[in-house]
Amino acid sequence: MKISVTRDVFKLAQVFTISRGSRTEAQVLTVRAEHKGFHGWGECVPYARYGETLESVTAQITGFSGRWCDLDGELPAGAARNALDCALWDHAAKMAGKRVWEVLDLPAPGPQITAYTLSLDTPEAMEAQAAANAHRPLLKIKLGTPDDMPRLEAVRRGAPDVPIIIDANEGWTAEVYADLAPHLIRLGVRMVEQPLPAGDDDMLAEIARPLPVCADESCHDRASLPALRGKYDMVNIKLDKTGGLTEALELKKQAQAEGYGIMVGCMVGSSLAMAPATILAQGAAFTDLDGPLLLAEDRAEPLQFDQDGVHPPSSKLWG
């Protein structure tokens, strides 16, 4: 198996801000796997929060032996393994002349309603964002500061009837969350994602959770699950955390068996990064695969988004 990796940059439609910082572009790594005349590809987004850089992940990819059976042993869960795993699944599907869900013996996927994420900003700006996107079926709000109530109130004014989920990106304390929780319910919030920092979230087992709390930074792969018990109600599965579709499907199965609800999320990347996750998202309580909607440019054969949600990829894109 011949493996190659390139860096690609996709401009964002507007500045995207979370509690940890802002960006104007998505920098991704594209991996291509070639063998017996067939090519597969995948994409990953190295994430500084997990100690990854474009350079470190590139080094991991170029150091891979090329043997799929050794992938889990050679690389930890993370961006490098994700791009390789997804490229190899694409390659396997093309060699078999089937769609990847047929190779996996899964039902054919259908469209899934996806959240649309509003960037962290001033209350006035977030109200304007919400009003401009009030036609969408689900909004996700980036919060995680000591001054979030005016932002949340503003979003609800801008989009009074749209279901809302919140991502605090580890930005709150237990006291802040406990104070905010009744207001979140009053304003119709359906779920809150990672309110406390990973590794400092034990208080979630001690305080009331009047609405579902979803683990994001606290959940990477199946090895994360024991530490989540009693603290979280859902897990956010992202391919760049699990290390690819293979582990993501296993994490989903085990998490469901242990009683967790499922959310399928993404980093900010192109349609190629989202394509494998559309398979994972089937039946999830919440899907957040809006990365391409935040871009000013995308892959040549992008995913389709419409009133039914995000559709599975065409064979020209992936799988």
Tens digits of per-residue pLDDT, 46-74? 999 999 999 999 999 999 988 888 899 99
Distances (CA, A) of 22 to 64, 120, 157: 32, 9, 25
Whether 112 has a pLDDT exceeding 90, the answer reads yes
CB of 219 within 8 A of CB of 199? Answer: no
Q: Determine how β-strand 305-306 pairs with β-strand 286-287.
A: unpaired
Q: For residue 215, give the nearest of 265, 281, 173 by alpha carbon.
A: 265
Query: What are the catalytic residues?
Result: 142, 238
**Chain mean pLDDT for the chain:** 95
Q: Provide the percentage of residues in the chain whose pLDDT is more than 90.
A: 87
pLDDT value for 19: 66
Average pLDDT over residues 79-108: 98
Contacts 24+ apart (CB under 8 A), 274-277: 274/303, 274/310, 275/86, 275/303, 275/312, 275/313, 275/317, 275/318, 275/319, 276/42, 276/86, 276/89, 276/100, 276/239, 276/244, 276/245, 276/318, 276/319, 277/238, 277/239, 277/245, 277/248
Could you tell me the two tokens for 158? 């801008």
Q: Hey, what are 56's tokens?
A: 């470190």
Lowest mean pLDDT among 34-48, 99-113, 127-141, 176-190: 176-190
Which run of H or of E encompasses 279?
Answer: helix 271-280
CA dist 181 and 202 (Å) reads: 17
